[in-house]
Copies of this chain bind each other. A is one copy, B any other.
Amino acid sequence: MNEKGTVTRTPDILPEPTLRRLPWYLAYLSTLRHADVVTISTTRIAEALDVDPSQIAKDLSFLGIRGKTRIGYNVDDLERALRDYLGFDRSHNAVMMGAGSLGAALIADSGLHRYGLNIVAGVDIDPAVVGSEISGVKIFHRDRTAELIKELGIKIGIIAVPVEAAQEAADDLAAAGVRAIWNFTPSRIRVPEGVVISNTSIYSHLAVMYNRLSLIEQAGAK
C-alpha cells in the first residue's frame, strides 16, 4: 500500500499457480514457433493446454501483455516476453552442493543453462571428485563453500547431497549468504527467513507414480 492507503499494483507479485502456468505457455509457444505459426489466439492456447481462456488472458495481463482482437498474440513476441519475465534470459550464478550421481547429472544438463542457471562451481567431500571437472565446472572441497559463494557472486545453492547431509549443506549455504536454495533431496530442510527454498524431489514423484501404476494394474487384474 502507498501513503494514501490505496493498493499499488506490483506486477512482480504473481500467484504461484500463474507462475507455474507461464512455463506451459512458453513450451507451447516454442512448439508453435517450430511449426512456423506466426500468431495465436487465447482460445487456441486454451484448447491446447486445457486451461480456461479467461485465465490465460489474466495470466498474461500480469506481464502487461494483451492480445489483439481477432488476431491474438504474436508468437515470437509473446515467447520473448515470457522468457524475459521468467528470468530465463538473465544469468543466475549457482553452486552445486554434491557432485555425486545426481549433482553431476545436473551440472552436465545444458538445459539448465538455457534457462538462465549458470552453475559456476561444484562442492563435494569425496577425494575422488574434489579437484575434478564436470562439463567444464570445477569441483572444490566443501571447506571452500563460503569462499566460493563470496568470490563468484553466487546467489543460488543447489542441494544434491545424500539426504542425511542435506540440512548441513543448507546451513552452509545460508551462512555464506546465498538467497535461494534449490533442494533436490527428499529431505525437508529448514532455511532462515529471507532465503527462498524450492523443492524438487524427483524421487517423491516416483513414489506417486508407482502408487498410481499399481492401482491401475490391480484394476486391470480384476
CB nearest neighbor in B for A16: B208
Q: Does A50 contact B (CB under 8 A)?
A: yes
Q: Are B216 and A205 in contact (CB under 8 A)?
A: no
Taken residue by residue from 80 to 109, chain A's Cβ proximity to chain B (1 for < 8 Å, 0 otherwise) reads as: 000000111010100000000110111011
A151 to chain B, nearest CB (A): 20
In this complex, the member of A27, A163, A196 whose beta carbon has the largest number of chain B beta carbons within 10 angstroms is: A27
Taken residue by residue from 29 to 47, chain A's Cβ proximity to chain B (1 for < 8 Å, 0 otherwise) reads as: 0110011000000000000
Interface SS, A side: helix
As for how many copies of this chain the complex holds, the number is 2
Contact residues, A106-123 vs B (CB, 8 A): 106, 108-112, 115-117
Q: Does A180 contact B (CB under 8 A)?
A: yes
Q: In whole angstroms, how far apart are the Cα atoms of A104 and B101 in the complex?
A: 12
Chain B residues within an 8 Å CB radius of A102: 109, 111
Q: In whole angstroms, how far apart are the Cα atoms of A35 and B92 in the complex?
A: 36
A36 to chain B, nearest CB (A): 12
What are the 5 tightest A-B residue pairs by CB atom distance, in nearest-first order? A105-B105, A87-B210, A31-B164, A23-B204, A27-B186
